[in-house]
Amino acid sequence: MTGSHQETSTAEYPSAVGITKGYANYALWLLTAINLLNYLTRNAIFALFDPVKRDLNLTDAHLGWLGSAYVLVFSVASLPAGVMGDIGSRRVVIAGGVALWSLATSLSGLVDDFGWLLFTRAMVGLGGAAAATASAALVADYFPGRRRSTAMSIFMAGLAVGGVLGILLAGQIEHRYGWRVAFLVIGLPGFLLAALILRLKDPTRPKSPARQGADALLAVFNDLAGIWRRILRTRTLVAVFIGGAFISFGMNGLVGWAPTFISRELALTPARAALLLGTYGLAAGIAGTVAGGVVADWLRTRIPGAKLVTTAIGFFVGAPLLVWLLYIRDMQVFIPVFCGAFFFLTWYNGPLTAVIFDVTPPRIATTVTGAYLMFIHLAGDAIAFPLVGSLSDRFGIERAILVLPLAAILGGAIVLSAVKALAKDTAAAAPG
């Protein structure tokens, strides 16, 4: 029994490079805080849509493009950011990204027209891309064993928590001091995290990256065609990429337009809508994201493709609840249904991300993650934000937002289709 326990522990933490369980947990929480702040700065603008619209004289279509400015740049930059993470220092890539998005978020509060606000939001996306790919790869390397889904779910909880916390904080600061101050304040904490990440140990690169210099960079870009061919040959990755795009369309589009929907349809002030989303969404998002990882790890020895099954179950239960939610106007019913929907709709965050690292060789994992983020956002929420805005201008927000849960259900079904291929793809990606 003792030998078995020691074997599991060695597999779970990369102790060969001096990483203890305690240090791995510290790294996980630091990277989770960075992921949280990434989505906090990204989503803060959604609580500020109506006051920004009023002050800058914008339409809902303009607001949609403000959401997509982040996503478009984030998407395009994710692949080169992943490449840089594979050939260079992941800590430097993350720290640079955090510092950039912090500066750009603060500058968003100083602009006086749509064009400059669009530019600063795009720079937030560039910083987010640099940090997101390398952060996820570090978490996967810190937890290579059976705890990977749970660890990745904790990391991805930053997405759900940061997303709703950004709406909550921005809404409350705007209510008291205005939307410009909200941007200025929310941009500041990242500079501290950027400094901390530079001191973090890299679990697989204790001394220096394996490949450096201009020749290595050129070689990796020459390898990109081969990496894309590998993605297309890996049945699980094809399903995760396509299903992830539909999920990104539905979930990120929903987060972006939910404050405006609640404010208008439930006749609440933007601050009250942000408070409702922030408080209940925070609790449900944390619970759902962590639950998804725990359920996937618990099911892994019981059913094949447990991570994909867990992802699909979350959408098959949560999305119908969300459709129902769009027609509820009684707050006593709205709040519990909202909590239930958000709980299940956040199950996918950890398990689906963990699958990418399960079926990808470690040497190209960061690049593949960058390719995944680029694809799902370009084909997903980059389209969702302006599309829902344009539909809202024409048909009203209630009808426009209905396309989002329907897309999420379809994404869950596509992901589920790869269950039979997962074991084979995982074995093909194993070292040796």
Domain 17-429, CATH class in plain words:
mainly alpha
Residues with Cβ within 8 Å of residue 313, at least 6 apart in sequence: 344, 347
Q: What is the pLDDT of residues 355-370, one digit of tens each?
A: 998 898 877 887 888 7
Please tell me which residue, 216 or 272, carries the higher pLDDT value.
272
Asked if residue 387 lies in contact with residue 335, where contact means CB atoms within 8 angstroms, the answer is: no
Q: Which of 259, 241, 318, 255 is CA-nearest to residue 287?
A: 318
For residue 429, give every residue at least 6 positions away whose Cβ sits within 8 Å of its Cβ, in sequence order, or none: 234, 358, 359, 360, 361
CA dihedral 413, 418, 423, 428 (to 10 degrees): -140
Which residues touch 2 (CB under 8 Å, ≥6 apart)? Answer: none
SS3 labels along the chain: CHHHHHHHHHHHCCHHHCCCHHHHHHHHHHHHHHHHHHHHHHHHHHHCHHHHHHHHCCCHHHHHHHHHHHHHHHHHHHHHHHHHHHHCCHHHHHHHHHHHHHHHHHHHCCCCCHHHHHHHHHHHHHHHHHHHHHHHHHHHHHCCCCCHHHHHHHHHHHHHHHHHHHHHHHHHHHHHHCHHHHHHHHCCCHHHHHHHHCCCCCCCCCCCCCCCHHHHHHHHHHHHHHHHHHHHHCHHHHHHHHHHHHHHHHHHHHHHHHHHHHHHHCCCCHHHHHHHHHHHHHHHHHHHHHHHHHHHHHHCCCCCCHHHHHHHHHHHHHHHHHHHHCCCCCHHHHHHHHHHHHHHHCCCHHHHHHHHHHCCCHHHHHHHHHHHHHHHHHCCHHHHHHHHHHHHHHHCHHHHCCHHHHHHHHHHHHHHCCHHHHHHHHHHHCCC
In a 13 Å sphere around the CA of 197, the CA atoms on its Cβ side amount to 29
Residues 6+ apart with CB under 8 A from 305: 418, 419, 420, 422, 423
Output the pLDDT for position 9: 38
Question: How far apart are alpha carbons 94 and 90 in whole angstroms?
Answer: 6
Percent of residues, the chain, with pLDDT higher than 90 = 37
Confirm whether pTM is higher than 0.75.
no
Q: Confirm if 309 and 119 have CB atoms less than 8 A apart.
A: no
Tokens read off for 381? 């929420």
- Please give the pLDDT value at position 263: 83
Q: How would residue 22 be classed by pLDDT, with cut points 50, 70 and 90?
A: confident
pLDDT tens-digit map of 129-167: 888 888 888 888 888 766 777 788 788 777 777 878 888
Average pLDDT over residues 93-98: 93
Q: Higher confidence at residue 89 or residue 402?
A: 402
Highest mean pLDDT pick, 97-111, 195-209, 369-383: 97-111
- Burial class of residue 116 (count of CB atoms within 10 Å of its CB; 0-12, 13-18, 19+): middle
Lowest mean pLDDT among 227-236, 255-264, 321-330: 255-264
Mean pLDDT lowest for which of 336-340, 371-375, 407-411?
A: 371-375
Q: What is the reported pLDDT for 160?
A: 72
Q: Give residue-wise pLDDT tens across range 158-211.
A: 777 787 888 889 988 998 999 999 999 999 999 999 999 998 988 876 554 545
Lowest-pLDDT choice from 107-111, 203-207, 401-405: 203-207
Q: Quick one: what percent of the chain has pLDDT higher than 70?
A: 91
